[in-house]
Each structure stands twice: as C-alpha cells, then as structure tokens.
Amino acid sequence: MMNVFDNILELIGNTPLVKLNGIMKEVPAAVYAKLESCNPGHSTKDRIAAHIIETAEKKGVLKPGATIVETTSGNTGFSIAMISIIKGYRCILAVSNKTKPEKIAYLKALGAKVYVCPADVPADDPRSYYEVAKRIAAETPESIYINQYFNELNIEAHYTGTGPEIWKQTKGKITHIFACCGTGGTLSGTAKFLKEQNPDIKVIGVDADGSVLKTYHETGVINYNEIHSYQIEGLGKNLIPGALLFDQIDEFIRVNDENSAFAARETALKEGVMGGYTTGAVVQALKQYSESHTFSAEDIVVLIFPDHGSRYISKIYNDEWMESQGFSIQNLEEVL
C-alpha cells in the first residue's frame, strides 16, 4: 500500500531505530539510534510543537489566524513555522545569537518573524530570548506562547509518542536510553513511559559543559559559577526547565564542545548518519559513560539523535569553523 498523506504533518512520529555498527565497536551492547531527523521538520521538536498546538486548538485557546510565539534555538521554531503554514497561523520566534545565520534564514523562509537576542545574559534579563518571547506574546493580540521549557505538554508528547515507539521497536528489551537535555521534554517523557514498563532501564541525560543541569540533579542547587558560554545549540541550560523530570533520570553525563563536534563528524564518516551537534553530544556521552560502566552483549542501548546535520554545515561540518574554535581537524583524522 502506497504511503499517501493529506499533508506533511501526518509524517510526524514513528521515526526509525537504526543500529550503529561502526562508531561504538568497543561497546559490547547493541547500540541503536532513534533518528528524529526523519520527522518532516527534521527534528524531534515536531512532536512537541504539533502536540502543544493541537491541544490548544482542542481547548479553544488557538483561534483561526492567531499568532504563535516561542523561544527557540532553532528546531522548535522550524516545527512551529512549518505547522503554522499548514494551519494558517502567524509565527513569531525569539532566538539567541548563538543561532547560525542559515538557521535564521530557514526560519524566515518558512514565514516566521525572528528576533535575535543575546545568549550570554541571565534568563530573567529583559534582553534574553525567554523574556523577549514572553513580552511579544503579552503585547500581541490573539497569541499564545508555547513556553516549551515549562509546558507539561512537552513531556506528554514524548510520553505518548517517543517512549512507546522505542518500547515497541526494541520489543521491550531496551536497557539504556541516552538523550540530550535542553528543555528536558524529550528525555523526561520518554523516560517516564519506559520506567513505567521497566524501572530497571537506565536513563542517562546529556548536559553541556557550561550548563547547570548535571550539578542541580546531583545537589538540588544551581551552581552559577559553572555557567559559561558554549557552542552546542539546544543542549543544557542556565535555568531549571519545568519540563525536566529529574526523578526519572539516573545520571547525567556532561560533554564539551570539542568532543561533541568530533563525535558528530565521526558518526557521519563511520555510520553515514549526518546528525546535528546534539547527535555528537549524545554519542560522546555514551563514550564517556562506557569508560566507567560495563555493558553486556545482551544490553540494548538507544541514543536519541535529535536533528539533522544539514543545519550545521557552516559549523561543525565546516573545517574552517572547527579550526577557528581550536578544534584540530588532525585530531579527527587520528580518531578515524
């Protein structure tokens, strides 16, 4: 039977699970990647954008011709802009200045109005992309603010979608799940579902060097001294998202810019999978985790690959950019 759909939004979800055969040979477990780039907006954020918007429609909060406002590092914005086109909404997005020009161009090509805000300011600073989005939503008639960082529907989208998909795809045999934490919704919703099926499944969150999430998980305290700028987009935070269920996470692994960039490049060259910067981060997290934890041949490990590498061509897949950051391409050649 041919795959025929009424519109592009019907392609959201049911993404494939693909075994990684080259990059993690030193790990005896079977390692699989959940390829969220196979969503029509090329990222896992399609799931939450569709779920939040459709829920708002059912509740009567979103009226025809309304405006959707959101804070985004890029991917959620792509998803909202795409959905807005199909459903007839206006889309206004606030992004940080870490967002590459091609991402901003992509958002504008999908009809979004984009505000670029400084990344290196506190979350409650009126210039931050969080506060700018809140202000725009408050000032814009007939608008809603998606607020993915503190929206429980972010969690629910993955609890009802990503988690059940992985459970079914692994026939309930999954032993470990690794996912990056930005808003926290992907890992939290997926973990909650999987833990309900089998509480022994190990849930590993991936955090960025420069973010506060790992230490907060371990101590319950935000260490503001840990906060510094970093290059990985959509990973880590300088605040504690309400969509992050810390009680569902067994451990956090913190990764840095350089190792994550090399891991993404290595994944492309060894697996043929062009993943984004956070794909490299989750691969690097498994590498670091395996240095202190033992896997068996019976273990089934799932890594959620959040988006596609085409959005990072001028960044991690650009040798000049890598060298400008002090990431020696010779190091990549040595790894390979």
Q: Is 192 noted as a catalytic residue in this protein?
A: no
Radius of gyration of the chain (CA): 19
How far apart are the two ends of the chain, measured CA to CA in Å? 42
Around Cβ 60, how many Cβ atoms within 10 Å?
7
Task: Outline where 234-303 has alpha helix (H).
Answer: 257-271, 277-290
For 40-57, give the DSSP string.
Answer: TTSBTHHHHHHHHHHHHH
- Reading the block at residue 192, the tokens are 């909650």
CA atoms in the 13 A half-sphere facing the CB of 330: 2
User: 45, 87, 103, 315: which is the annotated catalytic residue?
Assistant: 45
Which amino acid would we find at residue 194?
L
H-run or E-run covering 205: strand 202-208
Active site residues: 45
